[in-house]
Chain A
């Protein structure tokens, strides 16, 4: 009798334990290295909202190219990834692997800046979206105010390409007062995508585009493209910068560092990170950067042109179509991309760029020239989100470099026409 009672008690305890025990949920994510702490914050937030669950985040983070390769490999074998992060230029590759959500039902979706919603919805069915656009970046024209003031150039106002030429000429005239090696103007023509993106800003501001709207044909060799490249050429031809100065930077970050260190007085385009990570790397405070430098929207060719056109990069958080917990995953992403996620004390989000949700934009107020950075978001433009873009990018970059190297002997039109021919062959 006693034995039966003990067995009964044990069974009762086991049953109760089973009923009370939380269901274990493992959310698998693949993302970028800088997102790690932010992901952990969102997992805690999700756990708070689902006390009935035992949520475990299984996150793998990688550097840029490795992230793309890992996503491709893991999704190709049908791995049940819940949360994925992709660069916007990989969108056409990965959209088929992403779950679509109803835009009307996603919390906070309307808070995303409209231009970014367009990209999210481009590869989804009508009324649907691929997730949340997490972060972006944009570019401004910057100048070294402290150096210009030393040369007697004050109240700098740059709105058009002619303004840039005018100030560059004024600096060139007083070149003997500059430190040896300092150039009136700089732009990026090195080995990375930064070369392309900063030239696209000029191309767009001149009214041109990279490809036709259906992405079937190259049009960067239009009159606008030629003007944009000749704009670079003008500074080279007038001795305001030498080919090696602009070709040398191994990356956009190296170029930005050279500018902050005083190598160029005016820089034709820098990412907004120059006022955060770049100045940190060279040991400059935000206050000093604000005092010693100036910034404005990317200038237009003429006063009637569109100022501020800036390439928008950035990342999209989505849910893979193999996800085991899609509802939890999209809720998780909602926290991550919303204002709370951007205000996350781990600050990992700060490494990612600018938020694309309007209510989180205040989080960049501490970055110098944040008003201009926010204004440039209104003019955000995107590179073609097609599979062939990485090949096209290489062709355009080589064309820019070819012109910079041979500006005395070749024309912008010839170089761009040759590049367009190659791009059209890729697009066939």
Chain B
């Protein structure tokens, strides 16, 4: 009986483990295997594709489109993550304030962009920014002050040096709610008594923020950074719908590059190599976060 009981925990975690193996571990191994083969959609039908070792990787590092996508990814992820965590924390702190009424309503409103489908979000922004159909460009003919504050331009989605930044802002708009939820949990975990004690000791608002709030929020910020970075590295749907990665690949991020190479051009082996690089970038970023951002002890 005791011996049987010993196995029960293993039995209980078995379904989850099997799911993990089937849905994550096996596809990862398969993807890595595919990345070592010269495999197209056509080869798939012909059962195979030949083994090319690391050639897909060496070709990738010689491909200017890959480096362009990598550069775009770093810009897109950098701006998005900073913006989402910053604004998420700001919104969470505002909603945590005892002076705000109707917090539930505000929280629900802020969540709308996050829960909306990416395609709907993309089309909403197209109808806001598109040079021909967009609200902002068409309003700029009527409201000329928009031109004087720099919002009257028509090339939001077509200027190669601007478009990736515009897409990052849209991604911040969509993803901030996620950060806000994470940070809200952090704020709620800080007991009021800590602030009350600090207030009695004469701590200013700034001191309370820097010595209490920020250190106690740090574990949540860390998790937030890791998750937001991973999610943002994999974002491609909004970009695909809004610009298709153009013009001239100027808004093509790495995940969209993988999609285009794999599913439009049918180069499965090459796309698998690029997705392995994407995975490694995600892992390295996560390790760096965990290594360099440490929770601070509060005295």
- A-side interface residues toward B, CB under 8 Å? 65, 68-69, 72-73, 75-76, 93-94, 96-97, 180-181, 189-192, 242-245, 247-251, 254-255, 257-258, 261, 263, 387, 390-391, 394, 397-398, 401-402, 404-405
Contacts and interface: CB of A to CB of B under 8 A. Distances in A.
B245 interface: yes
Contact of B249 (A97, A189, A244, A398): A398
A154 B40 CA distance: 54
Given A181-B141, A401-B248, A69 B132 contact: no
Contact of B247 (A73, A254, A405): A405
Contacts of A245: 131-132, 154
B265 A244 contact: no
Contacts of A263: 132-133
| Nearest 10 Cβ contacts at the A-B interface | A191-B244, A180-B141, A258-B132, A248-B131, A247-B158, A244-B155, A191-B246, A72-B41, A244-B131, A401-B247
Contacts of A397: 246
Contacts of B132: 245, 248-249, 254-255, 258, 261, 263
12 contacts: A68-B266, A96-B46, A192-B244, A243-B155, A245-B154, A248-B131, A248-B157, A249-B130, A250-B126, A263-B133, A390-B264, A401-B248
Nearest to A192: B244
Contacts of B249: 398
A387 B266 CA distance: 9
A309 to B, nearest CB: 26
Interface string B231-267: 0000000000111111111000000000010011110
Nearest to B251: A191
Q: Is the interface of A mostly helix, strand, loop or mixed?
A: helix
Interface residues of B, number: 36
B154 A244 contact: yes
A97 B264 CA distance: 20
A76 B155 contact: no
A172 B177 CA distance: 47
A402 B158 CA distance: 11
B160 interface: yes
B159 interface: yes
B247 A247 contact: yes
B44 interface: yes
Contact of B45 (A76, A254, A257, A390): A76
B244 A250 contact: yes
B47 interface: yes
**Chain B CB within 10 A, most for which of A247, A248, A255, A263:** A248
B133 A258 contact: yes
B42 interface: yes
Nearest to A391: B265
Interface in B138-152: 138, 141-142
A173 to B, nearest CB: 20
B138 A181 contact: yes
Contacts of B266: 68, 72, 93, 387, 390
